[in-house]
Amino acid sequence: MWFFSDEEKDFVELCRNFAQKEIAPYAEKHDNDETFNLEAFKKMGELGVLGITANPEYGGAGLGCTAATIAMEEFGKACASTTLSYLAHSILCVNNIQNNASKEQKEKYLPKLITGEHIGCMGMSEPEFGSDAIGIQTKAQLNGDHYLINGTKMWITNAQYSDIAYVYTRTGQNKKDLTTFILEKDKGHFTAGKPIHKMGMRASPTGELVFDNAKVPLENRVGEEGESTYHMMQNLEIERITISGISLGIAQACLEQCIKYAGERKQFGKTIGNYQLIQKMIAEMAAETEMMRNFLYNIAHQYDRGEKGPLKAAMVKLAIPKIATKIALDAIQLHGGYGYSREFPVERFMRDNKLNEIGAGTNEVMIMIIAKTLLKESLK
């Protein structure tokens, strides 16, 4: 992008080279086997990106939303599943701790999360509460010098591998009486429930977090009781922008694969790239991908300049994954029968991207946010 700083331009190359060496060669196998590329994840710690938005004081890179989106795009182009786990760790867990935790909590938890010694996740969704995030029912009850936490979190990325969980709980009767805790697996604060087998993002482990009278010290509470609704909404903005970066990476991967295939596949005596219908499909994919890139990075750049708010994050989250799914479906169509098989990666691209229209807020929730914000005067 024209407004990338020299540091950001160098970061593009750093992430691209890492992705092509450590992620892309193993994407198909991990998708087929439903296994997590733990080795690549640990190497992300060595690369210095697991704490991409965290303060250098704790080992972080001290970068912003634009850089995080660059990482999502470049890693997502190689393997969206691995990138989703990276996002859950670096944005949902590390970024939340960086922004909301006390200095003592940051000193205790961030260094090992940033090196990759520990893996993190975030617990928000529950079996009966997904889109209605502030309706969650996992309860934390104060009992002297500790809390007792009971409940279940669902659809948790990295659940089976996480050492640290940043978890939202209910501590009062009002709907917005939400309180966050940093929970430690080795202290018995949570256990991982059954793994969830998915259509896409199969190389990103997903499961339950179970809390059964978990005894959690007061010092593990983030902020005061009832403060976490604001924390949740604040972090959802950067999550929605950066997860859209994964969709941009998928769209770019589809485009590159289609260009390659159009130059190799022959029908009626010549490569299919000679046919106008194929040219039209590729031209539209390229234009749509470039449109996505400009829109996404413009919003990420605004976020880094302090121009924040739910509206633009929701717009990005609605538009980018939807267009990427269309591009992935077009890529399957262009490949014909091969596109519908597992011989080529475009079917995986489509399966993976569909999650981005659901996770971090469904398309329908994004429409609600956009419409209510724009029509707030009319809805009075």
pLDDT at 232 exceeding the cut of 80? yes
Domain boundary among 55, 85, 119: 119
Contact 164, 184 (CB under 8 A): yes
Average pLDDT score, the chain = 97
Mean pLDDT of the region 158-169: 98
CATH of the domain at 132: 2.40.110.10
Please report how many Cα atoms fall inside a 13 Å half-sphere around the Cα of residue 129, on the Cβ side. 18
pLDDT at 251 exceeding the cut of 80? yes
Mean pLDDT of the region 273-294: 98
Residues 113 and 127 in one domain: no
Token look-up 């591009």 returns 327
Contact 11, 53 (CB under 8 A): no
Residues 215 and 258 in one domain: no
CATH of the domain at 67: 1.10.540.10
pLDDT at 159 exceeding the cut of 90? yes
Q: Which helix (H) or strand (E) covers residue 122, if one does?
A: strand 120-123
pLDDT at 161 exceeding the cut of 90? yes
Residues 101 and 132 in one domain: no
Mean pLDDT is lowest, of 3-7, 33-37, 106-110, 355-359, for 3-7
Structure confidence at residue 59 (pLDDT): 98
Cα dihedral 361/366/372/375 (nearest 10): 170
Domain boundary among 95, 119, 143: 119
Residues 151 and 132 in one domain: yes
Cα dihedral 238/244/249/250 (nearest 10): 150
Structure confidence at residue 378 (pLDDT): 82
In a domain, 345, yes or no: yes
Domain boundary among 97, 119, 141: 119
Q: What is the pLDDT of residues 188-202, one digit of tens each?
A: 999 999 899 999 999
pLDDT at 1 exceeding the cut of 80? no
Mean pLDDT of the region 169-196: 95
Nearest to 122 by CA among 217, 38, 238, 44: 238
Structure confidence at residue 379 (pLDDT): 78
Write the DSSP symbol of residue 129: B
Judged on CB neighbours under 10 Å (0-12, 13-18, 19+), 324 is buried
Mean pLDDT of the region 147-175: 96
Mean pLDDT of the region 96-109: 98
Residues 253 and 204 in one domain: no
pTM above 0.85, yes or no: yes
User: Which three-class secondary structure state does DSSP give residue 93?
Assistant: helix
Please report how many Cα atoms fall inside a 13 Å half-sphere around the Cα of residue 283, on the Cβ side. 8
Regarding predicted confidence, which is higher, 173 or 320? Answer: 320
Q: What is the pLDDT of residues 16-37, one digit of tens each?
A: 999 999 999 999 999 999 999 9
User: pLDDT band at 297, cuts 50/70/90?
Assistant: very high
Catalytic residues, by residue number, are 239
Q: What is the pLDDT of residues 108-150, one digit of tens each?
A: 999 999 999 999 999 999 999 988 888 999 999 999 999 999 9
In a domain, 380, yes or no: no
Structure confidence at residue 160 (pLDDT): 97
In a domain, 1, yes or no: no
CATH of the domain at 319: 1.20.140.10
Indicate left, alpha or beta for 268 from its phi (over 0: left) and psi (-120 to 50: alpha).
left
Structure confidence at residue 373 (pLDDT): 95
User: pLDDT band at 173, cuts 50/70/90?
Assistant: confident
Four-residue CA torsion sign, 116, 60, 24, 201: positive
Write the DSSP symbol of residue 126: B
Structure confidence at residue 258 (pLDDT): 98
Q: Which helix (H) or strand (E) covers residue 41, if one does?
A: helix 38-47
pLDDT at 176 exceeding the cut of 90? no
Domain housing 148: 121-227
Residues 158 and 247 in one domain: no
- Cβ contacts of 191 within 8 Å, gap of 6 or more: 185, 209, 210, 212
Residues 243 and 342 in one domain: yes
Write the DSSP symbol of residue 139: E
Structure confidence at residue 143 (pLDDT): 96
Mean pLDDT of the region 252-263: 98
Residues 114 and 125 in one domain: no
Contact 65, 10 (CB under 8 A): no
User: pLDDT band at 268, cuts 50/70/90?
Assistant: very high
Residues 186 and 258 in one domain: no
* Total structural domains within the chain: 3
Mean pLDDT of the region 250-262: 98
Indicate left, alpha or beta for 174 from its phi (over 0: left) and psi (-120 to 50: alpha).
beta
Residues 170 and 207 in one domain: yes
Q: What are phi and psi of 336, to 5 degrees?
A: 65, -140
User: pLDDT band at 2, cuts 50/70/90?
Assistant: confident
